[in-house]
Amino acid sequence: MTRTELHELIDELPDDAVEGAALVVARLVRGEIDPHQTWVWTAEWQDQLRSSLADLTAGRTERFSNDQDFLSSL
């Protein structure tokens, strides 16, 4: 994406999304978000993260006391 395309995209933002987008862009500019890690903000990854958090909240997790126990469960 070019800077011009980014500006056009920002112009298309709904009013209620401007503040959130500004926060993310500001964090990128300040170096708080690694630009090589922005994939985490894709819809696919956000869905996977929400699903993982739901599993944690619902207690659908398993804890292993050591690496061997974990590997044996696979």
Q: Mean pLDDT, 10 residues at a time, over the chain (74 residues)?
A: 93 94 93 91 94 96 95 95
Total structural domains in the chain? 1
Please tell me the pTM assigned to this model.
0.56
Place of tokens 């209620």: 16
Q: Quick one: pLDDT at residue 38?
A: 86
Question: 9 is in which domain, residue-wise?
Answer: 3-73
pLDDT at 31: 94
Q: CA torsion sign, 53 to 58 to 63 to 69?
A: negative
